[in-house]
Chain A
Amino acid sequence: MQEFILPAVDTKTLGAPKFEYAFQIHARFEPATQTKTTRGGRYMRGIAGGKITGPRLTGEVYPNSGGDFSFVERDGVHELNARFMLRAADTGEWIYVEHRGYRRPDGYYRIQAQFDADKQGKYQSLNNAMWLASAQESKDGAEVTFTYFEVV
């Protein structure tokens, strides 16, 4: 290891990442099914529908287009694994959403998201960008609001 030097990060030249608020998805979920598997557990709920609001996208969650199928670890932490479809209100374009992240018993519910949109469509900018989201579940657990930020 002696030959490796510790260069500093070139942040001043390029700038640190910034988080820009893009939109929110107010999702409605079906009641959850929980199973115990040989590896751990699954906590699964289908996405019934939802609304998208915000500066960069408005539209709807396509009803019953997927859901969250988290893997439940032994310590109760959910490894999030969600996918579902959106439709933009103005152009009717389809957008695919994928979530990865963690939901902890202490309330931490954070997501790395990925979008797939038509590369020549109006929402092509969602594609090659990095997304973070924070999520908040309603008291009855039936609704979750996902707030998406682009990492620029």
Chain B
Amino acid sequence: MIDRRDFMIASLGALSASSLDALADEPLLISSNAVNDPSVPTLRARYAFSVSVFFKERIMIESPRRRAYVPAMGGEIWGPRLTGRVVPYGGADYGSGGLVAQYLFQASDGALIYITNYASILNVDDDGKQVSWSGDAPPTARRKPDEPPQQAFVSRPPDRKHQRFRTMPIFDAPVGKHAWLNRTVFVGHGVRHVDPDHSIFTYYEVL
């Protein structure tokens, strides 16, 4: 097992060691902007949990709708509202155009929670400003008549420094302690990393 600090330095590049500790902070509460109109309510969301999902392979089928297959190898879940793991091969991103990933989480108490993660990727420039939306897979070149399809692709580093997702997850948790996930609107964001290929999702519950 690699030391966490070494892993962070290797995968995030130029960040200094001191700023790595700052990364551990998570803003706990988000509020909508103040509006000078009493009839407009404030929207609030609270940090719920984060999930890391590791990927080993990425497949893209050049069907008319371009179907992706990116299976989840595993991962961890941590945060104030949920802890556990991502069940290895419990699901995948079977996206077609947009990303619709379905994964299986397992809470620390053993409960199996199904998640459908609707996501869109956006590219951000170095200042974190939104630049464009894009699909995940590189475009494949036209094939020669006898050439077999090259469907597996290595996840290339993001075009910009970061690729960021917005996600709208839907949960299916069993009756019991985690059933509140089924009745709460969530919003999340994710960051893609390469080497190893993984994404980290951060989920906020809308209050």
Query: When the two chains form the complex, which single residue of B1, B19, B32 contacts A5, counting CB atoms closer than 8 Å?
Result: B1
Is A92 an interface position by the 8 A CB rule?
A: no
Cβ contacts under 8 Å, B111 to chain A? none
Query: When the two chains form the complex, which single residue of B25, B189, B191 contacts A17, counting CB atoms closer than 8 Å?
Result: B189
Q: Are A13 and B162 in contact (CB under 8 A)?
A: yes
Question: Which of B4-12, B57-65, B148-156 forms part of the interface with chain A?
Answer: B4-12
Within the assembled complex, what's the spacing in Å between the Cα atoms of A3 and B88? 12
Which residue of A has the minimal Cβ distance to B130? A152
Interface residues of B in 11-46 (CB under 8 A from A): 11-12, 19-20, 22-27, 30-33, 35, 39-41, 43, 45
Q: Are A7 and B52 in contact (CB under 8 A)?
A: yes
Q: Are A10 and B43 in contact (CB under 8 A)?
A: no
Asked, given contacts A17-B30, A110-B206, A112-B168, whether A4 binds B74 with beta carbons under 8 Å apart, the answer is yes
Q: Are B76 and A24 in contact (CB under 8 A)?
A: no
A contacts with B, residue count (CB < 8 A): 41
Q: Are A2 and B166 in contact (CB under 8 A)?
A: no
Which residue of B has the minimal Cβ distance to A10? B191
Within the assembled complex, what's the spacing in Å between the Cα atoms of A111 and B206? 9
Binary interface encoding of chain A residues 41-54 relative to chain B, with 1 for a CB under 8 A from any of its CBs, else 0: 00000000000000
Within the assembled complex, what's the spacing in Å between the Cα atoms of A111 and B184? 10
Asked, given contacts A7-B200, A9-B200, A19-B30, whether A128 binds B120 with beta carbons under 8 Å apart, the answer is yes
Cβ contacts under 8 Å, B27 to chain A? 11, 16
Query: When the two chains form the complex, which single residue of A7, A13, A24, A102 contacts B40, counting CB atoms closer than 8 Å?
Result: A24
7 A-B interface contacts by CB (under 8 A): A2-B1, A3-B1, A9-B50, A10-B200, A13-B162, A18-B30, A19-B45
Residues on A facing B (Cβ under 8 Å): 1-21, 24, 77, 100-102, 104, 108, 110-112, 128, 130, 132, 134, 136, 145, 147, 149, 151-152
